[in-house]
Structure 1
């Protein structure tokens, strides 16, 4: 036996490979030396390298008797092992023993029972306990509500309340570290996503200034991403700066090279500046009029004027690791200076502006006393903007609760933690809701037997005040994979702005989920639900609740840039009264307490329950709670509007040789694909994991496939066919330009048709009508 073992070990040693080495030969060529053993120096094969050398081990120099011993040894070991294994696995026969009841779980969480028997005369071996039955929906929502209490939020709101939390500051990073540590304590495997960006800041050495006659003003508020420089022009009052406002003014005052004075509201700062630039204005001044902002008239405004989201100096790609990208700027950066001023400064300017008095019927009159709101165009003013770019490091922080069936599919909940000042409603409330939801879901999994099918990811973003910079850079960094995995994004920013009513902005896929959640979550004001609190007099639900999603909405880049179904919602004081303290130093605990009638913690708990219940539904059910039919109805309406306009012009002879029928057929294809998903839902066994996953992927694909593949993410980042911005959208199809119209129709048609094909799932089900 020892001889067999020795021979076997010798063979194994001789077969051991080591490194390949190349050594120069005498003729200057290179040879490959293959060593089969470190100590076998005499068993070397030298192969002369000719082109691509091939390597093979040296032949073994062993006797036939050695080979025979090895074979016999292997056979002996195999026989012994087989005999021992067979003997150890024999079981005695016996009498049947009742093993009791086996429980199964239905899709609604209830259990079924059936009796099982087996045969054995020996005592039954220990059996692993049956898995806990899935908690039913009522129990889940009850558990969630019990954990998200007003008392819990009183503590959380105090914990995350910061006097200063500007993006990239030490306070911002410190808060990020605290959130990271909290996720770590909850065993949520936290990670950090770091970006290096340039954020505009006022120059302390050269403050921004405005000179009007002999008076000079140096405002402390500012607009990030404004063009810098010094311009001079005639001062003109333009109301809110809407296109219709500027059209009215332009009829009586020349806007080219003027400095437009606009009051804040109705539009984002970026849209106001963009409209002014389209009229060839030289600069823009924006102030809060007392009619819209009933606070101190010396209050300064802060904001940004990038007509987009993310870092405008790395458009379409992420700002990782100080990577040196080519000098490309976002097409949404303004070309003219813009600056905010207080209502007091605006009053001084309007008293001396001169010119014709504005038309009272056009709504130009504001709330400043002793001011006639003349249109101006007579007096010259100088605007000087000296903002500088500051290198800043942004930290996004994430934590995850992994799903038990489809962990690679997840619902993302996010909140920004930065603000211009205290940012109590803007950042503190959302951060508190994020952390309490993470804690509640963790406890439900660890202690209460909750088993989410899909994962929950919690994200704390930085630089939200600069246009969702942290969130957008993350989306750009993982653009090739995120849309395949994220089911829905739920924004927690500004969820509590008052009490008494409720509004939301969302992808149509989430309308039904929003509506059902409103009917289930109890109203914080007493009896009834959020739905009964908001929808009054049997009015239309979507008319009273739903709002268009603006570019400043934190959920907008997720929807229009990445094609992820997204939602943001807000508890507000009344349907017509907004929270006016955003972007000011007045966004603090006292002002939010006034807006909520001193019930901030109760309102925050209700908002957390609302977001948590939406997330619960999305990770709990076999089928995703996304309603494709809502999208089908919206696209049907949008396409028929374009189709009707073109047909009308064709009949009148104003338009020729343009056929909108293909776009109409693409709409029909989308409708059939949506109906096909509905049929698949009815015919699919949702308890079958594979069938359920295939169906859910078809549903989830709808939003992403509406992103136009025909436009550049650098020039047109918001590529969504319905909610994007640019000439590719259905809403922007221009019937006045025949050449442009043909291209727009073609691109919209194929975008819609490709989406319908993707929704069909299998390639053999694709409708090839177009």
Structure 2
């Protein structure tokens, strides 16, 4: 249309009358046609030039070219009108057809589906395998007879972290992964660990009479020599020390003697350090551990995980980081002694009789029970390797579940590491075969990890988490721990994130491992850093005895010892453990939506918030001056309400979702994955408080610490700080609100009530 108008304008406005050619190409009904228009005129060679500038001169006396040629007769004027109208109609039609062509859809092509063809949605399983068939396939591949040679192949007398034996096992694991057709890689770290003195020894001298030089040791103890009086403190738990405090016993400078068990070595030492003790001696009491009077104990006392000399960041290269120490390192001496050494001390203790709650005949010790403790441990740097194999998913390959087991041990470590490594390798083989040979196509990825330096406090696993924290928190949606999966046969214990509780219970029904028990996750659990440091829902489990496995942390952890406590059922129990881990992993990579239960955290939060509310009101009734006037629990309750509504809204979205919509499923899964991660307090540094989880972590930022602070205020404890409490209260509230906002999804879906 514009071209036609331009042509008319040129004719009537005296454009240069020269020979002009232009083509109008129109594709009509798929055919190409060409219209050629020629506008010809005689070039007037008047003295004024070629007339290009004259027609732009408004003062020109010349007549327009057309008027001159045609004249002003009626016949000519009629011809002019008809010609003009004809040109206008042609121009209009040309413009209309060109405009319509732009609006028409393209012609059908072989690469474009016809409108009557059914467009199939990719579900990622092609087709999705029935869950019952998945379980059946796994059960067929996991057999006791296949575990026997694996245990033999991965048994080692000496495979302490960073040793040649440890490296040899790493090579065996990665070669197995390659044999199964998996992609593999190695993660190398240089970590600082504390070992017993190479020359000389640690020393214990009681009443200046008999000197003992134990071979066992506790890594990360403070070094030096102290002399004090012995104080027997049962298991060294907080309530044990509270009973001693209730008797007005001064613990400053005392050397505390405690029994192994119930809590970790690190917690025992930390509890004693809080009360200004100078050293801690730990032994295996014969009533708890029938391991012989002379058996040495090994362990660590870092109140945390990972390399304590690179807290919060990875040990890739120490030269890149300033010299720092973890706040979890003790500033007092810690040493293990044998049962025989301990009993020699206990028999001679004087002073008060132990509390009746302890049900023991021991006395607590008095000023005459002097003892000297000397620790000369050596800090060394070791290279450790974590090794990995991966089975990639077919839809969301960048979302993965991690299955891991430690590879190192203080001695043979059959229960501590060999069984877990065997289960790891067998699961890798079985699932790889399911994918290669049986048509199973996981939607998401499975990563198999073999960690080193687990005995020093999950160093290998934690360094990996620290090294890739930013990417793992967005991609890893669960961790399954295989350490210690067989330490007995009388019961099956499971500890895991509340998000996994429903999946755990349904899996227990499928596997049916006799009696089962769901218990809280402890600080020394290898899964703990995944959950409390990285915000990755985690689970640990295993067959156990009525009491703790007696051979952990000793050189007696052999295959023969484990056979004794399991009645030679280790392979059979390993099969059930592998099935439990496999069912959880496969369910998480098989289903369209992640089976993580948001309702569990809603109930946990409700209980904790209600408890805080009750304590605040109790203080306000009796000691209102203890709390700031502006303090109200309303905002905390409102934050919980936001989380509750966001959780239920997501549950509704899940219920109404189209499982064939890949992007919709991915969006929902990503919202689910944020929950655990967003319970990590953003207001504390992972360097100073690595376990930032406000519900399951440790430190002043947790809701448990807030509750204890209220108890201290109510009891007029001088350590209670009103301003500090107000600050902790506000930050906790906003952490919960932030989790609710993230769970809600899109920014326009946020609950801004708070």
Q: 1:351 matched to which residue of 2? A: 347
> What displacement does 1:373 show?
3.6
Q: 2:409 matched to which residue of 1? A: 419
Return the alpha-carbon distance in structure 2 between the equivalents of residues 424 and 286 of structure 1: 23
> What displacement does 1:105 show?
9.2
SS in 1 for 2:461: helix
Return the alpha-carbon distance in structure 2 between the equivalents of residues 281 and 588 of structure 1: 36
Q: Is contact 2:261–2:548 with CA below 8 Å preserved after alignment?
A: no
Q: Trace 1:735-746 onto structure 2 (pairs within 5 A).
A: 735=710, 736=713, 737-746=721-730
Q: Does 1:457 align with 2:447?
A: yes
Q: Trace 1:75-90 onto structure 2 (pairs within 5 A).
A: none
Q: Does 1:180 align with 2:150?
A: no
Q: Trace 1:205-354 onto structure 2 (pairs within 5 A).
A: 205-212=199-206, 213-250=208-245, 251-354=247-350
> What displacement does 1:351 show?
1.7
Q: 2:81 matched to which residue of 1? A: none
Q: Does 1:159 align with 2:159?
A: no
Return the alpha-carbon distance in structure 2 between the equivalents of residues 667 and 652 of structure 1: 26
Return the alpha-carbon distance in structure 2 between the equivalents of residues 440 and 322 of structure 1: 39
> What displacement does 1:581 show?
1.2
Between the two proteins, the alignment pairs up a number of residues equal to: 625
Q: Structure 1 pair 102/135, CA: closer, same or farther in 2 (3 Å)?
A: farther
SS in 1 for 2:319: coil
> What displacement does 1:374 show?
3.9
Q: Does 1:693 align with 2:666?
A: yes
Q: Structure 1 pair 450/217, CA: closer, same or farther in 2 (3 Å)?
A: same
Return the alpha-carbon distance in structure 1 between the equivalents of residues 304 and 349 of structure 2: 33
> What displacement does 1:364 show?
5.2
Task: Spell out, residue by residue over 1:62-88, the C-alpha distance to the aligned partner (whole angstroms, 9 max, x if none).
Answer: xxxxxxxxxxxxxxxxxxxxxxxxxxx
Q: Is contact 2:496–2:537 with CA below 8 Å preserved after alignment?
A: yes
Select the residue among 487, 512, 515 that pairs with 1:534: 515
Q: Is contact 2:394–2:442 with CA below 8 Å preserved after alignment?
A: yes
Q: Is contact 2:121–2:661 with CA below 8 Å preserved after alignment?
A: no
Q: Does 1:572 align with 2:566?
A: no
Select the residue among 184, 195, 219 that pairs with 1:190: 184
SS in 2 for 1:190: strand
Return the alpha-carbon distance in structure 1 between the equivalents of residues 131 and 678 of structure 2: 32
Q: 1:713 matched to which residue of 2? A: 686
Return the alpha-carbon distance in structure 1 between the equivalents of residues 367 and 695 of structure 2: 39
Task: Spell out, residue by residue over 1:71-108, the C-alpha distance to the aligned partner (whole angstroms, 9 max, x if none).
Answer: xxxxxxxxxxxxxxxxxx999xxxxxxxxx9998998x
Q: 2:744 matched to which residue of 1? A: 760
Structure 2 unaligned residues grouped into runs of 5+: 1-107, 111-116, 714-720
Q: Structure 1 pair 690/103, CA: closer, same or farther in 2 (3 Å)?
A: closer
Q: Does 1:644 align with 2:617?
A: no
Runs of 4+ in 1 over 4 A off after TM superposition: 101-107
Return the alpha-carbon distance in structure 1 between the equivalents of residues 444 and 193 of structure 2: 36
Select the residue among 668, 671, 675 that pairs with 2:641: 668
> What displacement does 1:350 show?
1.1
Q: Is contact 1:249–1:375 with CA below 8 Å preserved after alignment?
A: no
Q: 1:77 matched to which residue of 2? A: none
SS in 2 for 1:192: strand
Q: 2:135 matched to which residue of 1? A: 141
Task: Spell out, residue by residue over 1:442-495, the C-alpha distance to the aligned partner (whole angstroms, 9 max, x if none).
Answer: 100100001000000000000000000000001011111111000100000011
Return the alpha-carbon distance in structure 2 between the equivalents of residues 519 and 241 of structure 1: 37
Return the alpha-carbon distance in structure 1 between the equivalents of residues 432 and 133 of structure 2: 16
Return the alpha-carbon distance in structure 1 between the equivalents of residues 134 and 239 of structure 2: 51
Return the alpha-carbon distance in structure 2 between the equivalents of residues 103 and 599 of structure 1: 53
Q: Is contact 1:358–1:375 with CA below 8 Å preserved after alignment?
A: no
Q: 1:563 matched to which residue of 2? A: 535
> What displacement does 1:155 show?
1.2
Q: 1:37 matched to which residue of 2? A: none
Q: 2:40 matched to which residue of 1? A: none
Q: Structure 1 pair 244/200, CA: closer, same or farther in 2 (3 Å)?
A: same
Return the alpha-carbon distance in structure 2 between the equivalents of residues 105 and 450 of structure 1: 18
Return the alpha-carbon distance in structure 2 between the equivalents of residues 269 and 403 of structure 1: 40
Return the alpha-carbon distance in structure 1 between the equivalents of residues 623 and 214 of structure 2: 56
Q: 1:122 matched to which residue of 2? A: none
Q: Is contact 2:121–2:660 with CA below 8 Å preserved after alignment?
A: no
Select the residue among 435, 440, 464 that pairs with 1:445: 435
Select the residue among 387, 397, 410 that pairs with 1:397: 387
Q: Structure 1 pair 376/290, CA: closer, same or farther in 2 (3 Å)?
A: farther
SS in 2 for 1:414: strand
Select the residue among 568, 573, 577 that pairs with 1:607: 577
Q: Is contact 2:351–2:363 with CA below 8 Å preserved after alignment?
A: no
> What displacement does 1:248 show?
2.4
Return the alpha-carbon distance in structure 1 between the equivalents of residues 678 and 109 of structure 2: 59
Q: Is contact 2:409–2:455 with CA below 8 Å preserved after alignment?
A: yes
> What displacement does 1:723 show?
0.6
Return the alpha-carbon distance in structure 2 between the equivalents of residues 692 and 554 of structure 1: 31
> What displacement does 1:326 show?
0.8
Return the alpha-carbon distance in structure 2 between the equivalents of residues 156 and 561 of structure 1: 33
Return the alpha-carbon distance in structure 2 between the equivalents of residues 682 and 244 of structure 1: 46
Return the alpha-carbon distance in structure 1 between the equivalents of residues 561 and 519 of structure 2: 24
SS in 1 for 2:430: helix
Q: Is contact 1:330–1:715 with CA below 8 Å preserved after alignment?
A: yes
Return the alpha-carbon distance in structure 2 between the equivalents of residues 377 and 461 of structure 1: 47
> What displacement does 1:249 show?
2.5
Return the alpha-carbon distance in structure 2 between the equivalents of residues 754 and 252 of structure 1: 45
SS in 2 for 1:717: coil
Q: 1:621 matched to which residue of 2? A: 591
Task: Spell out, residue by residue over 1:615-661, the C-alpha distance to the aligned partner (whole angstroms, 9 max, x if none).
Answer: 00000000101001111111111111111110121122444412111
Q: Is contact 2:286–2:339 with CA below 8 Å preserved after alignment?
A: yes
> What displacement does 1:323 show?
2.9
TM-score by length of 2: 0.81
Return the alpha-carbon distance in structure 1 between the equivalents of residues 659 and 595 of structure 2: 13
- Please report the RMSD computed on the Cα atoms of aligned residues, expressed in angstroms: 1.9
Task: Spell out, residue by residue over 1:327-348, the C-alpha distance to the aligned partner (whole angstroms, 9 max, x if none).
Answer: 1100000000100001100011
> What displacement does 1:682 show?
1.2
> What displacement does 1:321 show?
3.0
Identify the range of structure 1 (450-459 vs 185-194) with the bigger mean alpha-carbon deviation.
185-194
Return the alpha-carbon distance in structure 2 between the equivalents of residues 374 and 755 of structure 1: 48
Return the alpha-carbon distance in structure 2 between the equivalents of residues 258 and 364 of structure 1: 23
Q: Is contact 2:532–2:691 with CA below 8 Å preserved after alignment?
A: yes
> What displacement does 1:247 show?
2.6
Return the alpha-carbon distance in structure 2 between the equivalents of residues 364 and 282 of structure 1: 26
Return the alpha-carbon distance in structure 2 between the equivalents of residues 138 and 252 of structure 1: 63
Structure 1 unaligned residues grouped into runs of 5+: 1-88, 92-100, 110-130, 367-371, 522-528, 536-544
SS in 1 for 2:539: strand
Task: Spell out, residue by residue over 1:129-179, the C-alpha distance to the aligned partner (whole angstroms, 9 max, x if none).
Answer: xx9533211111010011110001111111101111100001001111111
Q: Structure 1 pair 712/322, CA: closer, same or farther in 2 (3 Å)?
A: closer
Return the alpha-carbon distance in structure 2 between the equivalents of residues 722 and 352 of structure 1: 44
Return the alpha-carbon distance in structure 2 between the equivalents of residues 559 and 623 of structure 1: 21
Q: Structure 1 pair 558/156, CA: closer, same or farther in 2 (3 Å)?
A: same
Task: Spell out, residue by residue over 1:372-416, the C-alpha distance to the aligned partner (whole angstroms, 9 max, x if none).
Answer: 444334221110000001220010001100000000000100000
Who wins on radius of gyration, i.e. which is larger? 2
